[in-house]
Amino acid sequence: MDNKEKPKLISACLLGVRCRWDAKFKPCSKAVELFRQGNVIPVCPEQLGGLSTPRIPQEIQKDGRVLNKKGKDVTKEFKKGAEETLRIAKLLEVKEFIGKSKSPSCGFGETYDGTFSDTLVKGNGVTADLLSRNGIKTITEKDL
């Protein structure tokens, strides 16, 4: 990767990959255009952590745990997915991550408050937070 621009990681759901919690096809046109230009690698931290698609909605709680809407603790899977994503980033010398806004994994700057009431609070998703703390520039599709 000597004289080339370093690749970027991007939330795969932004490209229309059916890995969203609800398995819907919702591509972001700016993300798809960026992917078509090359040098963008799709990842889904939640799937890398072992969660299925579709899956019950999940939110980060005030105590830092991630629970699904039925109360099941999925923190372990979220942390595993974040660590696997970081491993990929380091392997490929990634310097930037484009995450899905508000996501409990990939959101950066704000996420839902853990009450499943569509209330947003300041904070980062588990993966976005880990990548950011490891020096990887982290943005969302809203910043494209």
CA distances from 46 to 3, 33, 84 (A): 32, 24, 10
In a domain? residue 31: yes
Q: Measured between alpha carbons, how far is 90 from 100 in angstroms, rounded to an integer?
A: 20
Q: Domain tally for the chain?
A: 1
Q: Does 3 have pLDDT greater than 80?
A: no
**47 is in which domain, residue-wise?**
8-57+73-101+125-137
What is the rounded average pLDDT of the residues 112-118? 98
Residue 7: CA count within 13 A, CB half-sphere: 17
In a domain? residue 110: no
Share of the chain above pLDDT 90, in %: 95
pTM exceeding the 0.75 threshold for the entire prediction: yes
pLDDT digits (tens, 9 = 90+) for 65-106: 999 999 999 999 999 999 999 999 999 999 999 999 999 999
In a domain? residue 40: yes
Give the pLDDT band of residue 5 (cuts 50, 70, 90).
confident
To which H or E segment does residue 67 belong? strand 66-68
